[in-house]
Amino acid sequence: MTTTDSTEEFGYTSSYLADPHAGQLARLRTLERAFDPLSHAVFNQLDLVQKPAILDLGAGAGSLAGWLGKRYPDATVTATDIDTRFLTDIPGIEVMTHNAATDGFPAASFDVVHARALLCHLGEREDILTRAATWVRPGGWLVIEDVSLRPSLRTANPVFRKVAQAGITLLEQTIGSDMLWADTLPDGLRDRGLYRVGHRTLEGRIGDNGPADAFWAATTAQAGPALLKRQLLTQDDLDAMVNLRADPGFTEAALTFVSAWGQVT
CB 85 to ligand SAM: min, Å: 9
Q: Under the criterion CB under 6 A, does residue 53 sit at the interface with ligand SAM?
A: no
HEC readout, 165-213: HHHHHHHHHHCCCCCCHHHHHHHHHHHCCCEEEEEEEEEEEECCCCHHH
Binding mask 2-41 for ligand SAM (x = CB under 6 A): ----------xx-----x--------x--xx--x------
Give min distance, CB of 117 to ligand SAM, in A: 4
Q: How far is CA 132 from the centre of its chain?
A: 16
Residue count at the site for ligand SAM (CB under 6 A)? 21
Options 40-48, 69-77, 98-106, 193-201: segment touching ligand SAM (CB under 6 A): 98-106
Q: For residues 94 and 237, which CB has a smaller minimum distance to ligand SAM in the complex?
A: 94
Q: Which is nearer to ligand SAM, 146 or 252 (CB)?
A: 146
Backbone angles phi, psi at 197, to 5 degrees: -70, 135
Residue 14 carries which DSSP code?
Answer: G
Q: Rounded distance, CA 148 to CA 242, Å?
A: 22
User: 55 has which bridge partners?
Assistant: 78, 113
Supply the minimum distance, in Å, between the C-beta of residue 185 and ligand SAM.
14
What are the backbone angles phi and psi of residue 67, rounded to the nearest 5°?
-65, -40
Segment 120-149, which members bind ligand SAM (CB under 6 A)? 122
For 29, the enclosing helix (H) or strand (E) is helix 24-44
Q: Is the dihedral of CA 44, 47, 53, 54 positive or negative?
A: negative
Contact call for residue 59 and ligand SAM (CB under 6 A): yes
The verdict on 117 binding ligand SAM (CB under 6 A) reads yes
Beta bridge partners of 54: 77, 112
Based on the shown chain and the rule CB under 6 A, indicate whether residue 83 belongs to the binding site for ligand SAM. Answer: yes
Can you tell me which of 90, 95, 116, 125 binds ligand SAM, judged by CB under 6 A? Answer: 116
The full length of the chain comes to 265
Our CB check for ligand SAM shows the closer of 57 and 163 to be 57
Choose, by CB under 6 A, the member of 38, 55, 58, 148 that binds ligand SAM. Answer: 58
Residue closest to ligand SAM when measured from CB atoms: 60
How far apart, in Å, are the Cα atoms of 196 and each of 85, 140, 150, 156, 158? 36, 11, 26, 37, 41
End-to-end CA distance of the chain: 50
Closest to ligand SAM by CB, 33 vs 161, is: 33
Interface with ligand SAM by CB under 6 A: which range of 76-84, 134-142, 151-159, 186-194?
A: 76-84
The residue ranges that bind ligand SAM (CB under 6 A) are 12-13, 19, 28, 31-32, 35, 58-60, 64, 81-83, 99-101, 116-118, 122
